[in-house]
Structure 1
């Protein structure tokens, strides 16, 4: 019975793929659909970056890849590949469950229980203890030393990865107190903007821009802070000035242009 259950679940999971194969091809309006998908992918990348799950380099690379795919998607090429795409999808209807079945036969066991909540809670408690231990050790290091600064940066990165925004922000503040630098100030400012601490973010950006007034990320975040604070004209002015000086092939240009279009 359990194998019948597995087969039924596999059929349900692959049902949308089968429906896609049976649906007749629609060429009309395909370009508009591609553009809509492109915008949706960029919005998703922006949400991932804002939530801290994508760093700036990964976000930039993914955005460029989405743009490259859009430029490469021409109607004639898509039409020529339609038959091959349908054949590949049909093959996947068989190969995906077959591969999953083979992997399960190799090492699967339906009797193995899921990890209980107690074990997950214990793992989280161990992480908390490790972070607390690291924090205690950093407290004993001279506050203005490079070792302390690097330690607080690492702790902030770890806390952000765990979704503990306040702890991450506090660690980065300690690192900036040891030695102020623009890139870390931008990381903290972006986090503060997303959490609504606009005044502190603006102060950080002003200080960082005084040392590096042409840094694109600092200028972009300055406009974002102004937009979130409701100062639309200030944000528009900041982003237009940034675009006016940006190279035509700047990978972040599309993001700034989209932000400008979103302003009321």
Structure 2
């Protein structure tokens, strides 16, 4: 059964960590390290005193202080606790995969096979065919009609969701050409930024802000472009002005505050 194989593989993967936990700890603990340091300090004091670089009073006071630290050094108490901790961790290492497999068998569907690559490829082909049909219909519509605008908007969202940013940017450009709108402009600016075309993003952002200077999303993107261009002071100025105009309960206010805090 496949889940039993998963359990065996998990145990094999965790075995090196388990062996590490079972390995005996090194002999030198914190207490012994402290004592070694203090012994070295005492030896150094004796050398300084013997060489005449420290008088008797200073030598006696310093030696007494080091001896006091030796007596006050806490003894190691990690032996038994470390053994118990290692045992607990060892149990957890093997119980967690076993419990996970048990829960999967109980609540999951181990008998259901994963979707093979052929099925995923067929689904992608169907999506391509649907988008091709949409493009064909758009070519027959009046270019400036509301139907064409909605069609290009649908196509742009579909292409962006599939990771085809260039095709998505082309579709949103057509939407914006039919009727300018700050929200669509912001979508296209973000696409340009994701594509790495900051020049196109900056040009579109400037034109859009002239039409909608108070749009918060466009103002935020303006600061983002300034920050990415290596101009943090400009970004700070833009975002601080936006923050001053942002209501206290605005959902984007925490994001804006984090961005401001992250500026150098």
Q: Tell me the distance in 1 between the aligned counterparts of 2:255 and 2:3.
A: 48
Looking at structure 1, the residues matched to 218 and 4 of structure 2 have their Cα atoms a distance apart, in angstroms, of 57
Between the aligned partners of 1:122 and 1:219, the Cα distance in structure 2 is 42
What is residue 135 of structure 1 aligned with on the other side? 135
Runs of 4+ in structure 1 deviating by more than 4 angstroms, as ranges, are 9-15, 92-96
Q: How does 1:1-264 map to 2 (within 5 A)?
A: 4-8=4-8, 96-103=100-107, 108=111, 115-116=116-117, 118-264=118-264
SS in 1 for 2:184: helix
Shift of 1:147: 0.4
Does structure 2 conserve the Cα–Cα contact (< 8 Å) formed by 1:10 and 1:97?
no
Tell me the CA shift for residue 7 of structure 1.
4.0
Provide the C-alpha distance between the structure 1 equivalents of 2:151 and 2:234, rounded to a whole number of angstroms. 36
After TM superposition, the structure 1 stretch with the greater mean CA deviation from structure 2, 128-137 or 204-213, is 204-213
1:143 aligns to what SS in structure 2?
A: coil
CA distance in 2, matches of 1:142, 1:198: 32
Distance 1:14 1:256, change over 3 A: farther
Give the TM-score taking structure 2 as reference length: 0.60
Deviation at residue 141 of structure 1 after TM alignment: 0.6
Question: How many angstroms does 1:187 deviate by?
Answer: 0.8
Whole-angstrom CA distance in 2 between matches of 1:180 and 1:124: 32
Taking only aligned residues, the RMSD between alpha carbons, in angstroms, comes to: 3.2
Consecutive unaligned residues of structure 1, counting only runs of 5 or more, are 16-88
Unaligned runs of 5+ residues in structure 2 are 16-91
Q: Are the counterparts in 1 of residues 227 and 235 from structure 2 also a CA contact under 8 Å?
A: yes
TM-score by length of 1: 0.60
Q: 1:237 to 1:12 in 2, by over 3 A?
A: farther
Spell out, residue by residue over 1:84-139, the C-alpha distance to the aligned partner (whole angstroms, 9 max, x if none).
Answer: xxxxx9xx9586533421356x7716xx57613x4433332332222122112111
The answer as to whether partners of 2:104 and 2:110 remain within 8 angstroms in 1 is no
Q: SS of the residue aligned with 2:255? A: helix
Tell me the distance in 2 between the aligned counterparts of 1:250 and 1:103: 40
Contact between 1:157 and 1:168, CA under 8 Å: does it hold in 2? yes
Q: Which has the larger radius of gyration?
A: 2
Count of aligned pairs between the two proteins: 187
